[in-house]
Chain A
Amino acid sequence: MTALFSFEDVVLDADGRRILDGITATIADQGITCLMGPSGSGKSTLLRLCNRLEVPTSGRVLFRDRDVAELDPLVHRRTVGMVFQRPTPFPGTVRDNLRVAAPDATEQEMRDALGRAALESDMLDRVADDLSGGEQQRMCLARSLMARPEVLLMDEPTSALDPRATEVLEGLAETLAHERGVPIVWVSHDPEQVARLADSCLVLDQGRVVEVRG
């Protein structure tokens, strides 16, 4: 099977520091792959390379065998959606937020996206800033889903959430990956969460892959 992402001797330097130090690895095109490691190990940077929010200093990142550097970044980012560590609601209502991802979306499409993120469909008129942290993060997931991504990148999406909200988001990720066929790359520093979620896992430390599981 073609790898979802392949990293070929990827090095990334920033601010005079080596963040990634010659990463060579692949991520499977199915299920949930976790990137695990302590703070500063380079896992979030590796994730950001996948949708070109960062570019490597040297080496290549391939998406389904195509060099990410040669893809149109705007098209690629809609193919590879991303949910960030902290919720990033934009000013305005939930509807305004969803329309940033899909300006021409119908009411029904927006309600469907909210449903896939386990949110009530009558939330469209609520002010995004007024939602709880868990609701905001799920709204961000719904917003990403509005672009109909083929892949989801999730950068420690539960780090700011309580256990109940974490459980809900993990359940949504499992449904997306296993029932809807959307492969997910999930960054986590929590071994218990990785044990719950991961179909495969890359363990990073000091900018290197030190272990591959699954």
Chain B
Amino acid sequence: MSGQGAIGWGGLLASLTLVAVAVGLSAWRRLGLERTMLWACARALGQLLLVGYALAALLDEDAPVAAAWAWVVGMVLFAAITVRRRAPEVPDALRLALLATGASAVLSLGVVFGAGIYEPTPRAIIPIAGMMVGNSISGTVTACRRVIGELADHRDEVEARLALGQPSSEAGRPYLRAALRVALTGQIESTKAVGLVFLPGAMTGLILAGADPVEAVLVQAAVMFLILGCVATNATVVGLGLSRRLFTPDHRLRPLPRAAG
């Protein structure tokens, strides 16, 4: 490794002393988290090293751009599987998450590269897609769960609306709106608090790597806006798709699953 931001293997080993501190604190206070923490760190290191070596190959100057796009497809697929695993009670979660994540990836990457914010090189495609897709997962899971939760909590009201002759899309709309508001609030709050409460990853990384702080801020702002758009698209697509699946074609509200855990 080279450059101002490189820490090398020695730096990595030194950072593990902080893990030792955390493990020590857990043992001292008898939290019983020592093994979990060690396993989490080992797993994270292993995963990151694997990704690092894969990225080294993908980001090679001679590597084809198609390989980077294939990596993005893999990310979308993995995100959809993660959503299904985290929200097993959601009907058809895999297909919905694939549709939503795919749509938001196409939209966000289309804006980034279509508007010329970055050149569509592997070095831009992979990290940007990673940030978009990765940040969308929790918003998608929250949207799925809240749509089901809102409709279940207000089942009487929804059926009263249906009984007045409202179509299911209209009867479910206030509850879908409430669910999406919850799903997006976290990202909106993060966007509002950025810079004041915490310095986000991309900006921190650039500053550590020696970039001009103002330039780092511009990159970070662009990233935040893209993430916000991506999360909003994802949550909306998944929310609309899910709310359609929770009603029958003859405008009845199906029995609703209960959230697991």
A157 to chain B, nearest CB (A): 12
**Closest CB of chain B to A86's CB: distance in Å?**
6
- Is B255 part of the contact surface with A, judged by Cβ < 8 Å? yes
- A77→B165 contact, CB < 8 A: yes
Interface residue A201 (Cβ < 8 Å from any Cβ of B): no
In the complex, A214 has a CB within 8 A of chain B: no
Find residues 54-94 in chain A having any chain B CB closer than 8 Å to their own CB: 54-55, 73-75, 77-78, 81-82, 84, 86, 88, 90-91
A51 at the interface (CB under 8 A from B): yes
Q: Which residues of B contact A54 (CB under 8 A)?
A: 252
Q: Is the CB of B165 within 8 A of A74?
A: yes
Known: A53-B252, A54-B252, A55-B250. A75 touches B165 (CB 8 A): yes
Residues of B within 8 A of A1 (CB): none
Q: How many A-B residue pairs have CB under 8 A?
A: 55
How near does chain A come to B222, taking the closest CB pair, in angstroms? 38
Q: Which residues of A contact B163 (CB under 8 A)?
A: 51, 53, 77, 81-82, 84, 144
The answer for the CA separation of A55 and B252 in the assembled complex, in Å, is 9
**Cross-chain contact B160 with A88 (CB below 8 angstroms):** yes
Contact present for B159 and A84 (CB under 8 Å): yes
Q: Tell me which residues from 98 to 130 in chain A have a Cβ below 8 Å from any Cβ of chain B.
A: 100-101
Known: A53-B162, A84-B156, A84-B159. A74 touches B255 (CB 8 A): no
> Are the C-beta atoms of B167 and A74 separated by less than 8 Å?
yes
User: Which chain B residues lie closer than 8 Å to A77 at the CB level?
Assistant: 162-165
Interface flag for A143 (CB, 8 Å) = yes
Q: How far is the CB of B70 from chain A (nearest CB, A)?
A: 45
Which 6 residue pairs of A and B lie closest in terms of their CB atoms, listed nearest first? A78-B165, A88-B160, A82-B163, A77-B165, A101-B164, A73-B250
Chain A residues with a Cβ under 8 A of chain B: 14-15, 51-55, 73-75, 77-78, 81-82, 84, 86, 88, 90-91, 100-101, 140, 143-144, 147
